[in-house]
Copies of this chain bind each other. A is one copy, B any other.
């Protein structure tokens, strides 16, 4: 079957993929918007995680083909199995996503209640609260979907798909090994890393549906220049040096999407209002631990819920009466933020304070455990040695610092008063 996608054109799906997509677990993603509240600032942005997930799977297949175009696997069946496993992991990476945004994670149950066998088997500490990734592992390893995987792809076990979604899960690595090389690292990186199929899909997709250019990247060039680099019998993602500027551009595209779209003041205030509702004593919206119940929890259900309750924050969201930005500051000193808060307090004006904070890369940090393990290979310079990408480009140093946007919002009926106060009192 083929699906028509505005981003990638016609996407071919095999019968097993179609069967998975047709489950209610996957169809639920039609009712989870990719960008949550962003449609309030960019009204075209109504696209959902359903088409995004199919897109990521498609890109993962393309990336796999590009990296391994000339790689001599021992058998075609090994190539096919690894390719299908990474495509399935990409397809399912978001399947446990909660309604609207990460904000709803705070009404998720304790992890233990999800009853995830693979976690039990690996003796994981399950005393913490569940998050959307836990629901994903649940759906992948223990649901209609895991059975369909095994029926349609007899040489694939759902647990191995889960191992590419969550790189911390333990498994028998021989599944990912061919000719002494372990491919689990690079396959995991295709699903989730600084240069993953997820981003290659969502940057272009979000830009398209928002109607902006920030996230437009050179996907063709990046893909053609992907390769692998082997360290200690493990295969890692690598990039030809000639695509290094395209990689810089890719990182900055994402950075700018944060600044211009994901951190738009309207999205942020809706998130904050939802947060106020979910933490209210009278909040009745709780996400169920049972996966078959969870399937019903979608953006639609949450919006219907918010419309039906009396809580003032729920009503503000349902009736689109958000608080309004009174002050916005960029990379300011903490003292100034405190002064502003004090002025609000003095005048007894309720304000929502939100600080949005983005770094270029979450992978670039001092912690050697988290290093990104993407390498740069130079096909022109014979004497060059492959080096980690965060040494080969200076972009991480350049953007070492976080960007911080601080905002104070007030009720629309207090807006004029707030503006007056802050034009008189210096902060």
Contact = CB atoms under 8 A, between A and B. Distances in A.
One complex includes copies of this chain to the number of: 4
Nearest to A419: B382
B422 A382 contact: yes
A134 interface: no
Contact of A213 (B211, B216, B260): B216
B423 A4 contact: no
A343 to B, nearest CB: 12
Contact of A218 (B5, B22, B46, B213): B213
A60 interface: no
A10 B224 contact: yes
A296 interface: yes
A100 to B, nearest CB: 12
A217 B304 CA distance: 38
A380 B325 contact: yes
Interface string A1-30: 011111101100000000000101001001
A9 B303 contact: no
Contacts of A381: 327-329
A214 B218 contact: yes
Contacts of A422: 382
A209 interface: yes
Contact of A24 (B6, B42, B50, B320): B320
A22 B224 contact: no
A224 B1 CA distance: 11
A259 B246 CA distance: 9
A327 B210 contact: no
B208 A6 contact: yes
Nearest to A42: B4
Contact of A51 (B44, B216, B319, B330): B44
Contacts of A24: 319-320
A357 B213 CA distance: 27
A264 B260 CA distance: 30
Given A43-B30, A245-B256, A304-B304, A211 B4 contact: yes
Interface in A136-168: none
A47 interface: yes
A248 to B, nearest CB: 8
A57 B422 CA distance: 37
Contact of A214 (B39, B249, B327, B399): B249
Contact of A260 (B3, B43, B245): B245
Interface in A119-140: none
B220 A9 contact: yes
A43 B3 contact: yes
Interface string A205-239: 00011111110111011001000000000000000
Given A211-B4, A245-B259, A252-B252, A44 B47 contact: yes
B212 A218 contact: yes
Contact of A399 (B41, B218, B260, B398): B398
A5 B43 contact: yes
Given A31-B303, A252-B252, A301-B304, A210 B4 contact: yes
Given A10-B221, A46-B46, A244-B330, 16 more contacts: A4-B211, A4-B220, A5-B211, A6-B211, A9-B211, A24-B319, A27-B320, A30-B39, A213-B213, A213-B217, A218-B260, A241-B330, A249-B252, A328-B381, A329-B381, A398-B399
